[in-house]
A and B are shown apart, each in its own frame.
Chain A
């Protein structure tokens, strides 16, 4: 995508959050919800975020999606790299914040820039990063069918790819088929073979044929027979639609994608102060837009008033894909579910639908904010299994948020412990469970009821005394000090820095390191 930006981060980091700072400007004061939070998630990794209620887990997740409700909240500083692109590149220009007093804050928003920001974000959300929310009942639109909601998600991204695969399907001929059959048959391992079949079926917009094809390849080794079968099956799926019209749609969306990409570059250029490139890009965008207006005038009018006809092939594709997704998440009766409204389904089913929706564009990063808290234990386990499977099969990175340590133990590779908007400890999951360092983490560990402890003499559930700090007026220094058993004098004066004390194990506590977090002097406290 954007060359300069990719070089900024290491490769293989799907998400990198740096110095994130989120504030809520309320009538009672400024809620310092997230302070200097940094972490990163690698490719295929499942990262857990734990903490008590109110510690800022959801705020972190929503910040990564850039969905902090404004008003009252705003991200005021930080960098969030999603797939190498910093979505907060233009953060400073979006709004000017002037603080008269904590309860009287004036925020001047730049409408035009915010509009552009939202436009770019809507290209990234759902495509590169998706989110599964905590309350399945509240998170689905009550007046749209499940099918429509998932279809919407599918059709928002990758229209060009969709058009390409439909064209591929329509123009598929015997020669191509025989080539494909050869490659599949050359693969000795059934498992891999099936995977290839599924992938190819997706590529050719015939996902519903994956099953018959795998059966076919399993039951037969006769090359000519297979080719004939495949050809006839594929031919039944061809709709004979007008490819010229589809081409036109494809070109239209190609242009739109191009404009989006140019906008991304433009933001990068603006930020790095490269005015010449920025001006060039701006001119280019303008030109493309005017081409779009002139060349696709008739098309956009048709799209506006005859959506149903223009979008018919896409809709059909989306329908097949929806069915496929719903089958993938093991939902019972996917056809029925597609035409159901959210209130007609159970929480577990809805959560599966949410996951299906989140996977519609095969994002590389999935954020799951307590996806199982609202569900009963059995369903919870099934959903977790499903997510693990997805994590393995598609090499998707997951940011998993929960306050349930047992779930963390099961799901995650690495864990971050968050307290009062600060990351206090970060380590591989085993380390956290067997070698927790931070007093807060150890407190959390002791709070877990463990079966083996019940038979010890001192069988007693420990809990951490006190409660989550008020984030409007957080404790000075280490935010945990009012509740800490090991509190020292320095703890209430200075803020400990998150430092790596062992390999991959970071802690922010003066018991382990003397490093102090330097607070940059800023207008916003």
Chain B
């Protein structure tokens, strides 16, 4: 009951930030000027730019009115069209590309958490040991590595040269990386695409070779992405472990006669994971940043890929909408993180 109110209250806090974000993106739009705003709204139907703008409710001498038309566009999904990387309505492109990003991000998060918790426990319980030093170098390199470079290093190591893991993109794409939307992208696989997540769609269709191939194609992108997040989580868990093991209650546990292993797993780790949860929001932010480069390098058709191509082609509407979407994802994950934290830590009173 109480938790419900906490969630509602916490969700309400998002609203001002969300409005701020609409203002920020609107300012960008305004800064870009009237010229190309109409682009993406079939401006060729109109005689001139002004007419095209007016049809969309944009009037560059009336900022307030234009802001509200912008809001209307933003929240009704009327986001115009893009030509790069596919030529389609922006909304359609997002619908197709978004699930892939979710798949990538969740896979990377799961893999990192599965590795990070036992590894962090092991390292954090042995500060300054050789394992700890190695872990420290690893986390540092995770911070310092250019993700795109790491992706290529992985490709050279595990890509087609050695032939261990194929690095070709999941989806077929013609010529210079642009997709032809007139031929639905999944047609090549002869499966229906209810979820737009190839792994799941293949399973639903019962196409095991396709599933296998999709899985193999996922490995390198996930590995690249994992490296960065894992490094981050590891660093925090380690710090949390060291911090928790210096606290008094650990001595109490030992004085009770709790065996060393249980002290670490039950008493120290639980306290170490709590502060780690609070920084997950930060990590998700860097994860989403990493998604952009990884998708670009591996030609993985997610919204990060979409963002890079819309940006390169200066499709202003596309990039603004994507900025907004990324913002919403981050806000929601932060909300979830806070709720989880409140749920886990008895000291938080909501």
Contacts and interface: CB of A to CB of B under 8 A. Distances in A.
Task: Determine direct contact between A and B, CB below 8 Å.
Answer: yes
Interface of A: 62, 65, 67, 115, 118-119, 121-127, 130-131, 133, 135, 138-145, 152-153, 156-157, 341, 343, 354, 357, 360-361
Interface in B310-350: 344-347
Given A122-B260, A140-B249, A130 B255 contact: yes
Contact of A133 (B248, B258, B267, B271): B248
Given A122-B259, A138-B249, A143 B345 contact: yes
Contacts of B49: none
B11 to A, nearest CB: 25
A121 B259 CA distance: 9
Contacts of A142: 249, 271, 346-347
A156 B254 CA distance: 11
Given A138-B248, A143-B274, A65 B255 contact: yes
Contacts of B259: 118-119, 122
Interface of B: 247-249, 251-260, 267, 270-271, 274, 344-347
Contacts of B345: 143
A133 B257 contact: no
A485 to B, nearest CB: 38
Contacts, number: 84
A141 B269 CA distance: 11
Given A341-B346, A343-B347, A141 B271 contact: yes
B346 A141 contact: no
Say whether chain A's binding surface is mostly helix, strand, loop, or mixed. Answer: mixed
Sorted nearest first, the 10 A-B pairs with minimum C-beta distance are A126-B257, A138-B248, A341-B346, A125-B257, A126-B256, A131-B255, A153-B256, A141-B249, A139-B252, A122-B259
B257 A143 contact: no
B250 to A, nearest CB: 8
B256 A125 contact: yes
21 contacts: A62-B251, A118-B260, A122-B259, A125-B255, A127-B257, A130-B256, A133-B251, A138-B248, A139-B248, A139-B251, A141-B253, A141-B267, A142-B249, A143-B344, A144-B270, A156-B257, A341-B346, A341-B347, A343-B346, A343-B347, A361-B257
B291 to A, nearest CB: 33
Nearest to A363: B257
Nearest to B128: A71
Contacts of A133: 248, 251-252, 255
A341 B267 CA distance: 14
B344 to A, nearest CB: 8
A131 B249 CA distance: 12
Given A141-B271, A142-B271, A122 B249 contact: no
Contacts of B251: 62, 67, 133, 139
A360 B258 CA distance: 13
A112 to B, nearest CB: 13
A357 B252 CA distance: 10
A135 B257 contact: no
A511 B237 CA distance: 57
Contacts of B249: 138-142
